[in-house]
Structure 1
């Protein structure tokens, strides 16, 4: 199985998702999208595969979202993608791609639905929250 994570190492949610992927036994392809932004075609493919819109993928916190007036409904999808290409920090993260689908993994435990082995046992997120995913029926006998 091949898993790819569009990752920002400065983001706790992204770090938690990456750690959960690794705890499942996968070593994903890591795309640090701020250093190596996806092409326009790749970004459009990710948005389409997630069944979302460019507007829904915009990140507000810690970005030029307000300064660029991106809440204004005047911006078309193509224009919003132009902004994300010019300012990759506007792309919300982490986006995870696996054979099971493509998803913006917020909260980070949403990544478990994309993994071949979702039973990762107990996982403690950076903020101390405990996540426990067991396969239904596991341990029964």
Structure 2
């Protein structure tokens, strides 16, 4: 099974999710450090749609200026554009497999798509 993780190595939850993926037999893993290579607004829209959440639910509030910028109340398009421009606004980690997408907080949620 192929799996892609949008990963931040400085995040404990992201590291734990990555470890689960690495320890799961048969997983062909792609790791994308999204702070260096943020996904496009279109890719983010697809990920959130497939995860069954809104872009606002995928917005990282802690350690960002998202609330001051009014992003939690902004339109989907505005939130996605802000995330694509500034990867730090993306809550992590996102994992995509052929079984779906999950925002893996807590990290055990990755098991739902393995």
TM-score, L = length of structure 1: 0.75
Q: What are the ranges of 5 or more consecutive residues in structure 2 without an aligned counterpart?
A: none
Superposition map of 1:70-109 within 5 A: 70-71=71-72, 73=73, 75-109=74-108
Higher helix share: 2
Query: If you compute each CA radius of gyration, which structure gives the higher value, 1 or 2?
Result: 1
C-alpha contact (below 8 Å) 2:41/2:83 kept by paired residues = no
1:19 aligns with 2:19: yes
**2:61 matched to which residue of 1?**
60
The aligned length equals: 113
Deviating beyond 4 angstroms after TM superposition, the runs of 4 or more aligned structure 1 residues are: none
Q: CA RMSD in A?
A: 1.2
TM-score, L = length of structure 2: 0.92
Q: What are the ranges of 5 or more consecutive residues in structure 1 without an aligned counterpart?
A: 116-141
Task: Find the aligned partners of 1:33 and 1:100 in 2 and give their Cα distance.
Answer: 21
Stretch deviating more after TM superposition (56-65 or 7-16): 56-65
